[in-house]
Amino acid sequence: MNMNFVDLIIKKRDKKSLSSEEINYFVKCASDRNFPDYQISAMLMAIYLNGLNDKETSDLTMAMANSGKILDLSEISGIKVDKHSTGGVADTTTLVLAPLVASCGLPVVKMSGRGLGHTGGTVDKLESIPGFNTEVSEKNAIDLVKKQKIVIMSQSEDLAPADKRFYAMRDVTGTVESIPLIASSIMSKKIAAGCDAIVLDVKCGNGSFMKDFSSAEKLAQTMVEIGKNVNKKVIAVITDMSEPLGKHIGNSLEVMEAIEILKGNTNGRLKEVSLEIGSLMLILGNISKTVEEARALLEKNIKNKKGLEKLRELIISQKGDPKIIDDYSLFPKCKFKKELISEFSGYISDMDTYNIGKAACETGAGRKTKTDKIDYSAGIILKFSLGDKINKGDVLAEIYSSSEERLENAWNILKNCIKISENPPKPQKTILKIIGEIKK
């Protein structure tokens, strides 16, 4: 079938639906580095302005997934369940729930990325563990999961390569905020990673990409619908990101907080979301029948330390130093520390979560460009949560950096991020909504 790309642009410009063949042709052209950027840009803008229907979105997702290699996990017995977060601040759920659900017998093959901007990346966090290797081959990954039920690895370069071009071009053409393009980007990579089922954590609030609930709900529903259309079980959880999910922001700091949860020493929002997503993963993986049964199993494996021991097993198998679990002094150390002191008494009534993430990035804990080097020891530890009562002189946060200049810059950002008022704010749920079918 001969096609003219301009005809496809005109068709979408005029609000008409594209056929599966036309979508495949669009993705094939985008995968060709010699194909002109301006035509891809025109199509992306037409999609941004006029949208895609459910079938078009599903077709685009599968075409992008098939533009590169699809991981074959058939050697691993059991249902392979993946999870994905749309990104937030102090979102350390993977480090908590991956070893925890693996300790319950669910195979976990987790491909993760690095951080950029105000959100952190799981790979960076793991690489703060001395010696930890995230560069794992497909064969080695399968062998590790067959042996111990878990591997966490860097995302393969040949995974959904068409998405990489779309992603780069959307950023410079004003077409980022498109639900079909965001949904197909996320889902194509998850499907290419070889999973059978997916639990999605869609963040909502000032520290996330989706600032309001209606946008987060629409994105979640679109991705669940894609799953139905391509025969994948998908459940989406909409979670609040109006404050950082955990108290620790920064690579080694977040690993420590995850360890403390697995030791049973820490509760709070990070644990709550980890248990919710982990429970849904166990249900999709046929390990548990109900959320209550799944949650009880996860809580049990925190109490009996099976989740913690699975983390130790993961660290050893990927060449990291397991002694960090019991001795945090083995993590990289920062030269400088500064406290943010409250100038008022009252209640923490609002947090500018996005800029808290930017402050952590400024310490050296994150990247402003892809080539920036990470300072694994840098970051911020928050001492209070939204709604907490505080007194004048209380320490609101501790800031760590290996550069005095960066420490000062981060402090200057952070001091404007925490609002203190006479009255407490209205309580905010952490789990806002679950979308998708859960077996009863």
Amino acid at 193: A
pLDDT band at 314 (very low <50, low <70, confident <90, very high): very high
pLDDT of residue 155: 81
Cα(7)–Cα(198) distance, rounded to whole angstroms? Answer: 36
- Mean of pLDDT values over 150-172: 87
Q: Which of 84, 110, 149, 232 is catalytic?
A: 84
**DSSP characters for 244-285?**
-SSSEESHHHHHHHHHHHHTT---SHHHHHHHHHHHHHHHHT
Split at pLDDT 50, 70, 90, the class of 395 is very high
Is the model's pLDDT at 228 over the cut of 60?
yes
Summary mean pLDDT of the chain:
94
Query: Is 392 within 8 Å of 345 (Cβ atoms)?
Result: yes
Contact indicator for 259, 385 with CB cutoff of 8 Å = no
> Is 170 in the active site?
yes
Predicted confidence at residue 439, as pLDDT, reads: 66
Give the residue-averaged pLDDT of 26-33.
92
Query: What is the rounded average pLDDT of the residues 144-166?
Result: 90
Instruction: Please state which of the four CATH numbers 3.40.1030.10, 3.10.450.40, 3.40.630.10, 3.40.1010.10 is assigned to the domain occupying 81-326.
Output: 3.40.1030.10
Q: Where are the domains of the chain?
A: 5-51, 81-326, 332-421
Q: Do domains 81-326 and 332-421 have the same CATH topology?
A: no
pLDDT in tens, 41-72: 999 999 999 999 999 999 999 999 999 999 99
* Catalytic site residue from 170, 269, 310, 406: 170
84 an active-site residue? yes
Q: Which of 82, 91, 124, 163 is catalytic?
A: 163
What letters, b where the CB count within 10 A reaches 16 and e where it falls short, cover 231-243? ebbbbbbbbbbbb
**Is pLDDT of 119 > 70?**
no
Told to judge if 163 belongs to the known catalytic residues of this protein, a careful annotator would answer yes
- State mean pLDDT over 120-134: 92
For the stretch 163-180, pLDDT in tens is: 888 988 888 898 988 999
Is 165 a residue of the active site?
A: no
Give yes or no for residue 191 having a pLDDT over 60: yes
Secondary structure element (H or E) that encloses residue 39, with its range: helix 37-50
Mean pLDDT of 194-216: 93
| 115 confidence band (pLDDT: 50, 70, 90) | low
Instruction: Please pick, among 178, 185, 274, 317, the residue that the annotation labels catalytic.
Output: 185
Least confident span in 73-82, 316-325, 370-379 = 370-379
Which residue in the list 110, 114, 165, 189 is annotated as catalytic?
Answer: 189
* Average pLDDT, integer, range 357-380: 89
pLDDT at position 2 over 80: no
Is 113's pLDDT higher than 90?
no
Closest residue by Cα to residue 433 from 152, 267, 220: 220
Res. 126: pLDDT tops 90: yes
Angle at the Cα of 212 from the Cα atoms of 211 and 213, rounded to 5 degrees: 135
Task: Mark 124-149 as b/e (b = at least 16 C-beta within 10 Å).
Answer: bbbbbbbebebebeeeebbbbbeebb
Q: At 321, which amino acid appears? A: D
Residue 12: both structure tokens together: 């979408």
Pairing of strands 81-85, 197-204: parallel
What pTM does this model have? Answer: 0.93
pLDDT above 70 covers a percentage of the chain that reads: 98
Domain 332-421: state its class. Answer: alpha beta
Residue 117 pLDDT class (50, 70, 90 cuts): low
Residue 97, pLDDT above cutoff 90:
yes
Query: Which tens digit of pLDDT belongs to each residue from 244-286?
Result: 999 999 999 999 999 999 999 999 999 999 999 999 999 999 9
